[in-house]
Structure formats: structure tokens, C-alpha cells
Structure 1
Amino acid sequence: MIKKLLLLASWLPFAAMAQEKGMHFEHGLSWKEIKAKAKAENKYIFMECFNSEDDLSKYMSDSIFPQGKVGAFMNAKYLNVKVQMDRTPEDNEEVKKWYDDALRIEKDYNVRCSPTFLVFSPDGTIVDGYAGVQPGEEWFLERFTASLNPDQQYYLQLEKYKNGQKDTAFLRKLAYMAKDAVDDENALTVAKAYLEQQSDRNTPGNHAFVREILFSPKDGPMGMMNADRAAADIVSNFGAAEAKLMEIVGKEEVYAALRTINNAAPDWAAIEKKVKAKYPSIAEQLVLKTKIQYFSDKKDGDNAVANIVAYMKKYGNTADPQTLNEFARTIFKKCKNQKYIEQALEWSKRSFKENETPAFMHTYANLLYKAGKKADALAWEEKAMNKANGDERKNYETTLEKMKKGE
């Protein structure tokens, strides 16, 4: 027994030394107290925001944080703190005490994935952010050495952009920094500002830039090919960039909330509030578009029409031809209100202003007929028919005959 105790006693100092080699994380302090301690010690704050079941976060705890070189550097330069973002029945009292702070941190600093790393200056100001993990301690040391350099601190560079710095080298670098911080909205905004300064946006280099900023291609070569095509579209048409952002945010923030228990009506106000906290510039537009799709799928014509009208009143000037035609068709099919039919006529005519697409002209002709403008309807349906081919032409010919007969 004595021998075992001696062995245990001889092992304990080595265990302590091994623990000291890794990163030391603060325990028992509130967020307010962490900031006060950092200010007193003139240290930056390193914060890992994680979910309890996340494998990447476990990898960091098992393989990166215990490394001697990592501990020596991070303990000297930073106060280190872990913040659990989710809530589980197994949470201890320390985790529970951080619940409110964790919610504020998630909202204030756009924490969307696990792990997300945030860096604060000694006075508690956010200066840098990074999401995701790469293997090896060298990456980690390089990344958080850079976080001590004002030229590499994302939020400080973003402030320079907001204050007017717009040279191309700066914008390109900032777009990648926004991507690393999972700040999709600013990544898009800065990428657009960069592309606007390119004399020829339609180059392989610019396609690659957009693809890298906005996409995470999956499914091997096919995923990359689709991303390449989409990047080319975005470079040629900035409107496609906003559409891509809304697609990303819609999948991540909105559509999951529509799957309610017992098919109960979604809490639209709560959904919009959540999206607005992270993406204020697109929240209302995205939720309105989602409502239109939701009510159309539910065969609820009245609500679909009401939200189309609300959308077009606020965002109609930026609607693309496909959206204009889709909304006009819905009004044609679902609405008898002559005021809205007249509005839809204007949207529909805009949809083929630049390119006389037969299907869009067909929608316009149908709306004219519904508005009681039979002669105009016949003229436009004939134009649509003459521009169409194959089965499409036959369909329009059939519609034209029905219009002539008053059917």
C-alpha cells in the first residue's frame, strides 16, 4: 500500500506539469469578471464557443489545447475561456451560470457554428473571429498569433471598410476574413464592392474568388462544378448574389422553423426576429418570400396574394424576371381583386422587357384577359405563340382559341 502511495505521489507532479503545458481555461468567473481580469492583466481574451456534442470541439480539447507549445503561447498572451452555447440536462452549475451570457454572445457576435473562436482586446472589445478547425497545432498557433496583430483582426478591418477604405487588395483580403468569421452578409457585401472595381469581372480568377467566398462545395466534382456555374452567374449578375445569400440563410435559419409540432402555424414574428438579429439587411425580404412559398404550398391563395403584394410594394424594384412572372401568375390564378390584377400586369410586363420570353408573355396575356382587356390579350398571346416552339407553341395556340371563344 505504501509503495502504491509513493508511486502515486511521484506521478502527481508529472501530471500537474503535463496539465500546465496545455492551455489554462478560466473557471468560476462570470463574463464580466473575465473582462475585468483581462483588463487588469493587460491580456487578450480567447473564447471558444462550442456545443456539447460537437466532435470538432472535442478534437480541440483532446488534441490541440493540451499541447505544450500551444499552452505556453496562449497562457502568456490570452485569458482563455470556454462557453457552452447549447443547454443540456447534464449541465453543471458553472455552465448554467453562463446561460444568459452565452445567449448574448451568440446574438452579439453572430455565433452560428461550433466551434467558433472569438478574440477580445484587453478592454473587452471584439477584434477577431474564426469558425471551424484545421488539423495540427501549427495552424492554431499561426491563427491566434495573427489575432494579436491589428492588421489581421477581422472586426478592426471591417471597421476600416465601414469608414471608407475600399482599395481592391484590402477588399479581397477582407472578404476572405469575413468568410473565415462565417459573416456571410459582409462577405457578400465586400465581395461585391471588390467585383465592382474589376474592369473584367468575368474571369476565371473572379469566378474562383466568388466560389471560395460564398460556397462550400460538396459531393466531389459535381458539387464543385455546380458552384463554378453559380459563381459565374453571380459575377455576371449581382442580383444572383443576394439570392444566394437568402438561399443560405433560408436553409440555416428559416426553413427548419417551419417544421412545427402537429403542423401548427409558424411563429413568423419569432422567425423574423431571429433572422434580423444576424442578417438585418435581408431578414424582412427573406421572411416575406418564405411566407409566399409557404402559403402557396398550403393552397392558401388569400395569404399568398397578400404577402406577394407586401413584398412587391417594398422590394418590387429589385425583383428579377423569374420572380416577377411567378408572382404575376399567382395573382392570375388566385386573385379576383382588380386593383391587384392591374399591379400584376405591370410586374408581368417588366418580366419580359429585356428578353421576350414566350412563357412570360403568355402570363401577361392571361392577366390582360382576366382584366377584361380581350383585344390586347389576344394580341399578346399570339406574340407568345409565334415566339414559342413545339408543345409550348401548341399550348399557347389552344389558349388563344379559348380566348377568342370567350372561354
Structure 2
Amino acid sequence: MKLIMKNPGIGQAMLCLLLLPVIVSATKPKLTMKEGIQWTTGLSWTQVKEKAKKENKYIFLDVFATWCGPCKEMDKTVYVNDSVGNFINAAFIAVKVQTDQTKADNPEVQKWYDDAKEINKAYRVLSLPTFIFLSPDGKVVHKTIGYRTPQAFIAEAVAALKPGQAYVDPYIEFDELEADYKKGKKDYSKILYMMRSAKELGKEAFEKLLIQDYLQYLEKASDKKLYTKANMEFLNAVELKSDAKLFAIFYPDGKKADKAAGSPGFADRMVNRVVFREIISPFLKLSNVATPVYLNGVAAPTDKAEADWPGLYQKILQKYPKPYAERGLLNAKLAWYEQHYNYPNYYNTYLQKLDKYGIDTLSSIGLAIYSDINMNCWQLFERITDKALLAKAAKWMHEVIKRTPLDPSHIDTYANLLYKAGEKDKAMVWEEKALRLAEKYKYQTDIENFKEVLTKMRTGEKTWP
């Protein structure tokens, strides 16, 4: 099949680079002897576009930030690659666009502050790194995000050069709906999509307006329109108050909500959250600041103070039945002990809650339940020495791995709990299973960690901080 290119110069470069990568052609554009991509500097954004039009070359924008890990990885392993450099240098004017501002910025970066803001807004840069490819006349032809290997990155650039290639903005529909909404034309069947899009685009004020509008709409909606899974997911994401009309969906009878959500106990969880926000948090004067997580297992000094638990229990009972008071008390103790760094009491209470309510009735949804349990049990392993408590946590991790038998990190947590609880032989069997799974899935970091853990188990060393 004959390859037809609108731009003969680019076509020749493409054919040369794709088909004959190791042959040095007399017609190949002149390149200086630097490795990788040669970035264009010293020009403004307007001048870059003028240059591209004049030279009939495409533009490649690497939109990044100094704090962005994947961006740094692109600089370190991709942009310095000779194949990447040869391809981009032949067909594109390449420009780096820094989106953040730091004290270390050189004059060149500082001159681009305004241009970077314009590019960020005009091309809707929502995550980093973002790669934007423009035609010689300045139209976006391709846009993608995230780290790419050299081969994958070249494939993205090849896609940008395809004849007739055009980029379709995924938010075109949102733009039209937003314009209609502001004119008073409201399509409530699309409003959940509009909320998600507004959030993604950083339009916080408009998102809040849509949320309030939709809540008012749902208050008057028929049961058929109200009780849908999408609406239950929406209500799960907002903070309803007990005096709101829609709270009646969940209390005192939430059966319809459970059915719509496809989740038994969904309505109860919604009520429990309201109990926590409106009664527990003010009663205990809990801090809104998240308690620091000490990943190395080193705990802050323990504060053994206790709250007025009988008083709180009675306070909840004044408004809600006993089941809500009982669960509310456990939730309150978890929050209290966590904020007071009382880890023995925190984990005792956490395991009491699991014993009383089981795995599937925790506040998380889907697979997140198992990740939450794994995180709590791992931190218990790091912080607790009580063997009875460790054994109890191991029992619950065993329940988790029955449901997630192919997750090596969960098995590793279980094995470490067994080991610290004194069951060395059993622990080593499970740690070997975790290692085999990690090797199967080629989880290199896990492979290295699990091998180290096994070595320590065999020699009787501590596997915890």
C-alpha cells in the first residue's frame, strides 16, 4: 500500500525513521550531536507557533511540573533516548512547558509563566505529564497523558502525524450542556455527567451549583426516577443532614435505597455517617485534621485519656435506636483512639467491630474493604506486640485472603502476623506463597521485599521495625 503524506518532508523523515532506523541518509535533516530530544528555547509560545507554520513542522508540548515523578522519569529514560530524539527532532518543534513555579526557575522558565497558564487552560491539562501534539497550523491533533516507554512514546508521536488526524475534546458535550444550563435549559438526565466533568475540569463553583440543584430536583422526583443506582452513588458522595428531606430515603426505612444501591446495609451506612458527623464528632470535639500515619511503625506518645462513653451512647439513643448507638460507639472509639495514638485500644476496637459486624458490612465498598483491612492489620503488625491481638488480626486476614487469593500483599500481611504471633513455620509457608505470586506477576519490588522477609524468618530475625 502506498503511503501518502500531506507533508512530503515529514513523510520522508517518517519513512526513514520507521523503516531504516540505522541508515544515515543524505536527505536526513541536520541534527546536532546531542542525545535525545533537542528542546526549543528562547521563543515565546506565539513565536513557537509562527516558527511551526513557517517551517511546516508539527509541535510537541511536554507539559510537566517539577514535583511530578512520572515527568522526571520521562526526562531520565525517554527523552534522552536516541530513537525518541531522532524521531521527534526530525518531525517536531519540541517545547517543555512547566506548569508550576519555583524559586529555582531560570529566566527562560519565568518568561513562560503566562504562556504555561494559557496552555494549561486552553488545552485542559488535567494530569501530568500531558503530551500535546499540534499541526503546523496550531491545531491539536493528538493528546495523551502519563509515562510512556520510548517505544510507546514514539507510537504516540506517529499517531499525531497520521494524515487527517484530529483530536476530539472529550468535554465538548459538557461545554454544550454548560452553555445550555446557564441559559436555563436543564437536562437532569445529564446532570450527574456534568458534575463529574465539572469536578475533573476544576470548576468547583459550578459543581457545587449542580449538586444543590440536583438535590432539590431529587426531593420532588418520583420513586422511579429517585431510586436508581446512579442516584444512590451520588447521595453517597454528598453530606446529607438529618433534617434534609432526602434523609427519609435512608431512615427510618431504607429498604428501597438498599435495593437501588444493590448493597444490603447501604442505608444504614448512610445513617451511621450522619450520626458520626452530627452527634459523635461534636461530642468528642474531634479534630478535622487527619491523624498522621507513621508508615515506619513508630508511634507518637500514647494518650490514654478516655471519653464519656456512657454519655455519648445515651446521646445517640435520644435520636436513634440501639443498633445505631452501638455501632456509633465503636466508630467513636476508633476515631478517639486514633487521634490519641492509643494503638492497643484502637486495634482492639477495630477487631471488635469486625467480630460484631463482619467484613461485608464495613463502610468501604467493593474491593476497598479488603484493602482497608489489610492496611489496618499491617499497621497493627508493626505497632502491636500482644500475641493474642496479633493472632486475632491474622484470623481476619485469613478471611481476606480467602476472598483475594491472588493478592500477594494480603498474603504477605497474613504471613507476617503469623510470624510475630509465634507461628514461624506456618508463616514461612504463606510468605513463600506470596513470593511465588509476586514472581508470577513480576512485581519486582514485592519480590525483593518478600525474599528479604523470608531470609529474616528463616534466621529468626524481626520482620517489623
TM-score (norm 2): 0.37
Higher helix share goes to which structure?
1
TM-score (norm 1): 0.42
